[in-house]
Amino acid sequence: MSILPSSAEADLESFEHPLASRYASKAMVRLLSPLYRMRVWRRLWIALAESERELGLPITEDQVREMRATQDAVDLEAIARHEAALRHDVMAAIHAWGEQAPSARPIIHLGATSCFVTDNGDLLIAQEAFRLLRRRLQDVLAALRDFAATWADTPCLGFTHFQPAQPTTVGKRATLWIQDLLLDLADLDHVLATTPVRGVKGVTGTQASFLELFDGNGAQVEALERRFCEKVGSPAIPVSGQTATRKLEDRLGQVLCGLAASASKFGCDLRLLQHLKEVEEPFESKQIGSSAMPYKRNPMRSERICSLARFVTGLMPSSYQTTATQWMERTLDDSAHRRLTLSQGLLAVDAILVLYRNVARGLVVHPRMIEARLQSELPFMAAEVLLMEGVKRGGDRQDLHERFRVASLEAGRRIKAEGRPNTLLALLAEDPAWNMTETELAALLDGRRFTGRAGDQVRAFLAGEVAAALADHIPADEATVRV
């Protein structure tokens, strides 16, 4: 017997993309919605018509006024009806608007090709989406800044290869997450500052149609593009085919992948730390960790960050393939792919940063667990300190070194073979060559003694690079973290 509902019960036409319905914020979903895209297209057409009119083409103020009056009154159902008949999304949008603005109908899209709205529109929407991501990224930086400042001097065991290593501090470890994000912020700002739109280029990028409109006056065509770009607030790429080079979107994707990778590194670190019971992601009072094991407290938000990040980084190879296989002035095999990759990448990174901020703001630190783990390993790492103290008390450095080596091997054997706690200090105290009691040896093992300049590094970093990165911070909307 099938467990699926019958066709009468199942609504087979209501698939919802989980990035939109489950993960991303309403603000990002709005930017990538069909309604918003159509309104951006209409603003592009208005900017073109205004520029053409200002440069002397026979377009009346009444026609432009009618376009402005109806620019937000997008009828998606009417557009869908036209597209079903015309099999062309841009022409469908033009026909639907022409019904709402009949006097402007003859001059909408004058001299343009479809990529005038699709390419210019997608790049403008991506820039706006990046500005939202920038604010979300700064939100994360602010949360990690506060966390790093609070725990700047708290010693913890460092790990290299996930093996015990020289101690660091909880706050210093957080600055490693921040450093990655600062590099991402610099990349994001660079792309925002240097990403152009397609501009006013015509069918194959030669501006031939606009040259015809201006009776062969190339200076007027150049002026048209300048005016248009001033109105939309972005410079035009110098040359294009029918489309702007798809490498522009590859650059956007690189930033998205960088953000995803940085977030995933944080998520992986936190999952390991939660396993060690040192630092945990927030866990709500009624949250259930497992349907079968009620005691569990799984790092599900960090795991989701890593999962979404893996999805984002997987988008780039196919994006490069799209760029690599564009033919001559254009080919349409990029269209469906672009609709999927750029929108999904933006939605996923938005979701990642919403999660990241939520987790970073609610991190739970367990100082005693951190101290216990540090103390269990610190005797091994304190060899040089203990050797120097032993020499001060009359010992021979080379002899003490050998005695330490033998005792540490025995302590390690007991830990791994017998499951015993670290007995190195007791073994050293039993050896008269050290001339110290176990209490005296333990007194030398203050974790702060072994963290170098970690605390000072944290404070200098937060006061310098991090403060500069947050100087213009305006918090983003409080997006909901869904289940």
Q: Which residues are tagged catalytic? A: 161, 290
Residue carrying the six token digits 């990403």: 195
- In DSSP terms, 169 is beta-bridged to 155
3-class SS at 244? Answer: coil
Token pair of 112 as six digits: 């343009």
**Amino acid identity at 85:** A
Q: Give the span between the Cα atoms of 360 and 13, in whole angstroms.
A: 38
3-class SS at 338? Answer: helix
Distance of CA 326 to the CA centre of its chain: 28
End-to-end CA distance of the chain: 31
Length of the chain: 483
**Amino acid identity at 328:** M
- Angle ∠(324,325,327) on CA atoms, nearest 5: 120
Residue carrying the six token digits 């569990």: 296
Type and span of the H or E element at 279: strand 279-280
**Amino acid identity at 3:** I
Contact 351, 332 (CB under 8 A): no
Contact 351, 24 (CB under 8 A): yes
Measured from the Cβ of residue 241, the count of other Cβ atoms closer than 10 Å reads 19
3-class SS at 315? Answer: coil
- Angle ∠(69,74,75) on CA atoms, nearest 5: 130
Q: Give the span between the Cα atoms of 221 and 289, in whole angstroms.
A: 63
Contacts for 399-405: CB closer than 8 Å, 24+ residues apart: 399/433, 400/433, 400/434, 403/428, 403/431, 403/433, 403/434, 404/428
Q: What is the largest CA-CA distance in the chain?
A: 104
- DSSP class of residue 255 equals H
Contact 116, 75 (CB under 8 A): no
